[in-house]
Structure 1
């Protein structure tokens, strides 16, 4: 018989072995990285992204004034990477993408509250979330804000549950990240405060009311060390490690920008904007979220009820800050945590063979419904009147409901597991496609409700043409003289390497510039001595939508097949080149 000494006991406690759940989390992280890190430069940067990218690029240019920034955290981390990785669209989006992957993995730290299955499902839902993927692939501080908000919540909960002071350090790190990220973090902070008040004054409390729970106090040294760590990190991130002290003011202005969002236009369209974005992109939130809310209200478990209070706080924020579409992305945090807790409670820690067989059968029927519904929608969009596919879909739905009714009398647990798993699989399949479409294909298409203005890919062709002309005229890729009467952040970004570029309001008739860029609608006399070509540089949301007989059918056709009668407003430019230089 082996005697277990204190040393061997400590060694066993410090030894951590990977489990199947850990392997699944790693697999989920790999899929999240594929969604967020691949093809980062496929879509040109938007005007807002170009403004942030220009500030980073110009910081490293000698003899140039620094540009104003909106996210010190994004600026600091991206500016650290550019001397190593260079300057490109991909590098400018790399930091938000990495924080987006980190956001997906954070539920792993909340397994004690969500259960292992619940935490895994939450991570999977965040992986395929279209809005989370779109934010993670956008240059700016919103992705950092979401990561910091969820990390702050997890550190607060785990710190109180484990009574471990190290979580206080994690909370201070999250706070420093969030305060230097974007106004979205202040929205998360306010709404989490509302949720804390809700659970504090109404049952159930998020923490137990015993001596080791609610009344647990941090040691003075821990608080002092945590505040010092948070303060130092806040100062370093705000000032790019003291290399750009002017950015400290930008960190303070984030709060001012957030306050200015209150009292915006109270038109119904602006108030409904976040909700419409959820309807369009976050199908899982609507399909399972409502059921999860009812389950949480009925069972009154601490964390799910806290998520309900958090959700109510975000809805109140919608009403006071109308028209802010990023609030739709904020609501996915409490709802996905709630769905994870609900799924963990329903599925449990064991799934039997009967549950897998029942799930497989339901998946076949769900796929049959989706295929016939899509076929019906395609025929209707082409002017057809054939309803057989719709009746087949209804017939399959009737079979599903009848099967569930009889299965409930046979085995309730197997029925609940099969229904939930089958619905989750179908929603994950749909959300993955929607997330890939929004983040990889349509991030610059203003026909999507998430996009208001997008840079057209033709601007990349414009930049390549100018570079070829520069080599032809000056045997250099940066010495050609350019005059542009249109000044946009995207144009400045893609023409940043040209030292002899000037931006003005008009082009003089006697200009000697090798290349002139003017708006397509501008009236000039350049046609006498220049040759021009037309380029589309950006698309905008249309001011007037065309009249259609069935707007609902057009909307469904856009969602399912990405076909729409709406034509975005276009911004075009003319690239003028001297005739004598083209010969």
Structure 2
């Protein structure tokens, strides 16, 4: 039931019933243990976001963001001037580049720290959610695939969601207090989300406004039954709060915040161009798809990489309704998640990191269900009709004894479920690898006839073993449920799946951001920068050691190609950022005769240069579109990102050295 009606009839400050998980202890000890847990979680989240942050070269999208800051610092930097679409990312990179130089770590550091702050924002709602649910929510935001992978990319998505949560928290505070100070802060956070974080803030604000209205409307509908109040009273109070908001007094906040932040306290007036670029990118996202294949990348990431989270959130929403613990915040989260999914479907410009539109509210809903899994409920002992040693207060009913003595049962079951999930996962991945050999045009009906072939014995055995393991696991679950009770078994299975969710989330994020970051997956990386990009940059510095005493003073001619392999405002400009004498030319003929030439691996362009040259080929990118993954490749691609190399398209460049330069002649 919702409480604190007088202060806010559409919210609740009551502690969550999941707080009964831990035994009662002294207040000081309890607080110390809780904050130690948060410190440990924050350190783990920071480690996962910072470790090997510079192991992968920046993508083309990240390069365009970073080049704006670098060109602001170095006027003679090569390449065309690019305008960042995230003012806060631009400001952060301007600061880190000035202090630590331009590199992948300094380019992504601010986004990683914003992701860490986002993971800790549940603490703002601790008083209303309770200790256990708040911590579970923080764990989910710290370790799941989407928040972790998004925070390791410099695209502004983490900033958008960070200020979204801060704005929701402060608006809620203003509802209670009606203080002008809270109205100022709420306006500042909304401004930061909309105007300073990234293009995704514009469509997300529309989603949040509609979600807030739907939550109020749904609260008003349920008010007569749940609150014994007329629904019109709640609607009227919401309208009154909106009308009483001091818009005239806070109107100056957006102007001051934009002027001081985007321009770095008026030290860099050109920073205002990032605001215009933000809106231009947001509007272009309505008409232009982020994916070359036409896929909705944000929705695909949500459905393919967070399926367990969706299940947990649906379970949490059902338990909230069943227990009567639904608050306005929960209704708002449910509406936000539903409308966010619709937004990911309808907004073509949503990228993979924009799956956070839905993931963040889903984690809030899932946290309630997970908290209920941790509660020590009384176990039904079906094998004993009576027990003289049990306290009478625990009671007996129809020969069944209820006790909390066997609280450990759900943990034992969860360990067994987790082990079973690992076994099934390994078997599934083995079958998935074998399925990749099947022809793309083969139907499911033809598959059974194909399995009869003796040459496909391994695939047939793998499928049989996977099916048998699933059936045996289901039978064992039913037998254990008959022994310990269905409720205890469901709790244990839920805990096992929760741990599996966290471990798979960590693995998925690490695979996407580090382990397989040089290979495209069609989701986070339709175009993956190859490890050869670093090799090309190192080769240029080796040439600088030979011909310019270690100073990056080489004269480079870089040929821009129509296919987009080499662009003036993309990856290549970032790789040669320390070489002020590098110049981009529009045709290969303009570079003919130069000592050092970089051009796309193209026969037509190669034929345009004359003379004796020695070249080395570097793979710059690997590309994969989601629609190129056929039905039989899907299991292997989904489970461990494995695909046939023939499906991956490579883009390469060639570093040409004039023969005399290669032989060691001094450059003029």
Give the Cα separation in 2 of the matches to 1:288 and 1:233: 39
Q: 1:204 to 1:543 in 2, by over 3 A?
A: closer
TM-superposed deviation, 1:39: 0.9
Q: Alignment partner for residue 534 of structure 1, among 617, 621, 624? A: 617
Partner of 1:6: none
TM-superposed deviation, 1:471: 1.8
Partner of 1:571: 651
Partner of 1:340: 367
Q: 1:355 to 1:236 in 2, by over 3 A?
A: farther
Residues 150 and 333 in structure 1, CA contact (< 8 A), matched pair in contact too: no
Structure 1 residue 453 corresponds to structure 2 residue 527: yes
Matches within 5 A, 1:80-229: 80-161=95-176, 166-178=181-193, 179-203=195-219, 228-229=252-253
TM-superposed deviation, 1:526: 3.9
TM-superposition CA deviations, 1:518-574 (whole Å, max 9, x none): 111133254641111111011222597376xxx34x322233343211532111111
Partner of 1:420: 494
What count of residue pairs does the alignment treat as equivalent?
562
Give the Cα separation in 1 of the matches to 2:76 and 2:128: 54
Partner of 2:301: 277
Structure 1 residue 241 corresponds to structure 2 residue 265: yes
SS of equivalent to 1:451 = coil
SS of equivalent to 1:354 = coil
Q: 1:224 to 1:206 in 2, by over 3 A?
A: farther
Partner of 2:423: 371
Structure 1 residue 325 corresponds to structure 2 residue 406: no
TM-superposed deviation, 1:219: 13
TM-superposed deviation, 1:270: 4.5
Give the Cα separation in 2 of the matches to 1:238 and 1:266: 26
Q: 1:77 to 1:546 in 2, by over 3 A?
A: closer
Give the Cα separation in 1 of the matches to 2:499 and 2:198: 34
TM-superposed deviation, 1:18: 3.9
Residues 483 and 507 in structure 1, CA contact (< 8 A), matched pair in contact too: no
Structure possessing the higher radius of gyration over alpha carbons: 2
Residues 206 and 306 in structure 1, CA contact (< 8 A), matched pair in contact too: no
SS of equivalent to 2:472 = helix
Instruction: Mark the runs of 5 or more structure 2 residues left unpaired by the alignment.
Output: 1-27, 228-232, 379-403, 435-455, 561-565, 664-668
TM-superposed deviation, 1:45: 0.3
Structure 1 residue 53 corresponds to structure 2 residue 73: no
Give the Cα separation in 1 of the matches to 2:468 and 2:361: 37
Structure 1 residue 391 corresponds to structure 2 residue 468: yes
Instruction: Mark the runs of 5 or more structure 1 residues left unpaired by the alignment.
Output: 1-14
SS of equivalent to 2:411 = helix
TM-superposed deviation, 1:368: 2.3
Structure 1 residue 524 corresponds to structure 2 residue 607: yes
Structure 1 residue 315 corresponds to structure 2 residue 341: yes
Structure 1 residue 431 corresponds to structure 2 residue 446: no
Q: Alignment partner for residue 37 of structure 2, among 13, 16, 24? A: 24
Residues 622 and 649 in structure 2, CA contact (< 8 A), matched pair in contact too: yes
Partner of 1:5: none
SS of equivalent to 1:576 = strand
121-130 vs 160-169, which moves further: 160-169
TM-superposition CA deviations, 1:39-75 (whole Å, max 9, x none): 1110110011111111111111246796422111111
Q: 1:166 to 1:342 in 2, by over 3 A?
A: farther
Give the Cα separation in 2 of the matches to 1:446 and 1:536: 13
Give the Cα separation in 2 of the matches to 1:344 and 1:365: 18
34-43 vs 98-107, which moves further: 34-43
Give the Cα separation in 2 of the matches to 1:533 and 1:266: 33
Give the Cα separation in 1 of the matches to 2:62 and 2:410: 47
Residues 180 and 246 in structure 2, CA contact (< 8 A), matched pair in contact too: yes
RMSD: 3.5
TM score, norm. by length of structure 1: 0.86
